[in-house]
Amino acid sequence: MAGEFRRFKPLFRVLSECGARYVVIGGVATILHGFLRFTKDLDVVVDLEPAAARRVIDALKAQGFLPHAPVDPDDFADRRIREAWTNEKGMKAFSMFDGERPWLTIDLFIRERSDFEAFWARAETKHVDGLPVRIASIEDLLAMKRAAGRSGDREDIERLEQILADRRRPPRARDAALDDPWQACTWQGMRDAQFRAGLAATPAQRIEELEDMIEFVHEAARHRDFVVDNEGTVIDLTAPRG
């Protein structure tokens, strides 16, 4: 069972070794910056130069990934076809899932960033068990989440802002909140303690924690009448539908 959910590191290896530039964004990037939370997919901005895009798709196909949409995955490398997907189907990301583990999805954004070179240069590299993983800078993540305007991004924004502020403060100022023992007894204090634990973890430990959460949710769902969406929201399958 455990091996079924240990899939992020092999996917990082695929991205790192395919020879194309990429930047991880979304929930996994947020986790690797230090805020542990739930997500089930991997959001990625890739270099959309045709040869680079083909390398990404070929590498994913070799690992058994299949497109969610009824299209030829090789068409991802064609800018005109991507534009048609956007204009005619409203597609924002090209999703592929692991044929053996359908819960694992990678979303490749299909709109070219006019600032991709600068976006890639600003990205940070985290190492997960020796694998370099390129993730969006906190500033870029914040800009994307604010622009999206999703209610589910509010806590991500709050915590990313906190991480960014902590980087700019001396260590003693960061630990000042720990001086009040009563604060740790509050709900917010417990959430803050969990947040600090995530910051103290290594990138590899953060990914292992995410995989543990995914495994727990899927194992629990086998025996209960609920599912959990990508943001960690529990959906009761027995509740009446309006």
pLDDT score at 227:
56
Closest to 191 in 3D by CA, of 155, 242, 142: 155
pLDDT score at 166:
86
Residue 194 tokens read as 């969990």
Range list of H helices, 18-63 = 26-33, 50-62
Residue 184 tokens read as 């740790």
pLDDT score at 124:
97
Say whether pTM exceeds 0.85: no
pLDDT score at 1:
41
CA separation for the pair 141, 29 (Å, rounded): 8
CA separation for the pair 76, 111 (Å, rounded): 11
Per-residue pLDDT of the chain (242 residues; tens, 9 = 90+): 445 556 788 899 999 999 999 999 999 999 999 999 998 889 999 999 999 999 999 999 999 999 999 999 999 999 999 999 999 999 999 999 998 888 889 999 999 998 999 999 999 999 998 999 999 999 999 999 999 988 889 999 999 999 999 888 766 554 555 555 555 556 566 667 677 777 888 999 999 989 888 887 777 766 665 555 555 555 555 555 55
Residue 110 tokens read as 């299909």
Q: How far is CA 173 from CA 101, 160, 168, in A?
A: 44, 17, 10
CA separation for the pair 235, 214 (Å, rounded): 15
Q: How many CB atoms lie within 10 A of CB 11?
A: 22
Adjacency order of strands within the sheet including 93-98: 65-67, 93-98, 105-109, 41-46, 22-25, 131-135, 124-128
Residue ranges of domains in the chain, CATH in brackets? 2-236 (3.30.460.40)
pLDDT score at 2:
46
